[in-house]
Structure 1
Amino acid sequence: MMQRYSLTAIILHWAIAALLAFQISVGWALESLGARGFSLYQLHKSVGITILLLTFVRIVVRFYKPRPAKLERGWQGALALWVHVGLYAFMLGAPLTGWALVSTAKVKVPTLIFGLIPLPHLPLPASVHGLAENSHGLIAWLGIALFLLHVAGALRHHVLMGDGLIYRMIPGRSRVLLFVLPALILVAFAVGRMIVPAAAPDAAATAPAADEDEAAPIDNATNAAVPEQAANATTNTAEAETETPVGPPPAWSVQPGGKIGFAVGNDGDTISGSFSRWTADIVMDPDHPDSATITVSIDMTSASVGDAYKDGMLPGDEFFGVAAHPTATFKATGAQQTAPGRYRADGTLTLKGISKPQRISFTLSGTGKTRSISGTARVTRALFGVGNGDSSTSLAPSVAVTFAFKAKQK
């Protein structure tokens, strides 16, 4: 009776084989996905580290559990031995070079294994990034070749030589499992292809749409306000305002529960988030908005899009650069009424240490000493160096900012 591998070795063999097939399937698509592949990239890293850990266990089992004797000697036996050695090198080298690649990348993307366990970066210099990247790709192709050689050798023994070699890796010599277990590898490969995102429409067509009254940044070349219709509306409103304000404009205190959110198109999807910490100083008479002064300060470290991976990227230099510039501010002196209850204010936005003209549009509702405020702005991220790295190439050029809160007159 042919000796078999231990049950532990069998389980590890087929589990690692299926995971490798999944990795190969997904890995082929990652480079072409850009930012759309962010979640899949994180899964790819998680599965890679899982393979690394299972391989270490497999090595331990190999030394402490009895193994079947070799069936062949000579050059065929030597070839089989070196294919096995190569496969172990592949199972260790692929995840290790991938880990090194991530650890030395210019854009530091945090890794959480299956969204739960943080994986630290390896203490490697950035100069080895190119070597890690090239090695990772080369090892993957060598692994595929070794994988095919291993399968060919097993089929040669089992089918052509009729010695039942594959049964050494099948529990109980089950004919059902003889087909089911190899089929799992094909299923894993197919699943990897199925979860790859399909081609998406152009990002510009799917970016968050602006309201018809929403203001864009002021043109920096002309420093002039944009749509002509809005300018005409402002002129007509100003002419209608003949009443002289009495006394200084009132100050308003922002009440708890307000929100500042943001959204940006991402190759057919939308990434949405918010800032949990911000303050606003508002002095404004709704009947005489030209006397207004508005200052909003946002703690950029409080940004979140509800995804641990992406949240870990936001503070970095590619996006908000919070180490050097933890706060963004918007300041405006004066506002214009564009319609009953609707206003706009042209001011200055300072983000990542860069100051540029910026417009906001907002509405006031309510009467007396408590008002509800809601509004929008559209920020051109390139003007402030936000999203300036390789992982941002699929992001829309502008970010839609929304805000809503209640204010009480002081």
Structure 2
Amino acid sequence: MSLSNTSSSYGSVTKAFHWLTALLILTALPLGWIANDLAHVLFDPTVTPTEAQIARAANLFSLHKTVGVTVFFVALARILWAVTQTKPGLLNADNKPEALAAETVHWLLYGSLVLVPLTGWFHHAASEGFAPILWPFGQNLPFVPKSLGLAELTGTLHELLMWVLVASLGLHIAGALKHHIVDKDSTLRRMLPGRSDAPQPPQQHHSPVPVVAALAVWVAVLTGGWAMGEFSHGRHDNGDHDHGDAQLAEVQSDWQIQDGTLSITISQLGSPVTGAFSDWTAAITFDEPDAPGPAGSVDVTIAIASLSLGTVTDQAMGADFFDATQFPTAQFEADLFKTETGYEARGPLTIRDKTMEIVLPFSLDLQDNTAAMSGALELNRLEFDVGTSQPTEDSLGFVVTVGVELTATRTQ
């Protein structure tokens, strides 16, 4: 059997690409569907998943992503090989409607083999943590930032384009079976392993109509998805959850915060996931002492429901984690001290119904009436009864890194 195609039959390389692609697709699709069903449990804040469920979903997603990336590279190699080869003609080229449908489906399949895994890869790169691709080449892509909005957009595109792939695959299989069983021609046999005595196809003319038809299908699917609102909401937030959002009032303070960031970083399945609270207040008194010693105080109130933590935001609000409905705020009341090497905020931190004495070291750049502060500390989530259903670090690490940066000006 020849490695290359002829005008009437496919070569062994093309056949190998065809059946390898089929095997990969028929592996990736069920892996993705099963993993997605498990994800509905993981991202439901009313349900507390077990570590076994999290591990199973992560493993399935990792396998799905790894197979998907493999599909992408195999598809590229297949397309590069195809452009160097003679394309065997259609045996039913005289049947114009059927030939048009067959070529349109082929264009949809080739395009989907690139677009579906590529949008899935973009979604993975834009997301933080959870289910890595099983390879040593890193998890990020150039020019693809970590962004929940971008992750939701590419995730929606991935899902819509996946249905185009599934429909095209179904039509492709139906067409092959129709040729084999009804028409009893050599269309299917010439793609099977081994030699096939396929007849010479009739003379045919290729037009751009199938390409235009395939593009029209993709546009119609994306337009339909937009009309149905698939692009207007988060994929993991159905908007029905009441987290007891606390509306924090402004506080009286000797120093007014001009801008600031209060962030947390967790470790999920060995990968860091960083989020931030958008609503928090700080009442600050501070006077620079001449020597190490007391320097003031700070009273920080944090609206728990204002946390954005990527795809696990809703889960973080659930009863086993922050339980934002019952405990809508966290509180840090601290005294400020100047030390030999810098500054510290020392006092009780209350999260949920647990209070712990903590020390937050920070640096301070004081210029006249403007102060720029930066600090960080590590907390153990179990000390605040956060995530007690996950008592090991198999899926969620114990350490939570808290970071704060702010610029404040002294009130006149």
Normalised by the shorter chain, which TM-score bucket? 0.3 to 0.5
Structure number with the higher helix fraction is 1
**TM-score normalised to structure 2 length:** 0.45
Structure whose alpha-carbon radius of gyration is higher: 1
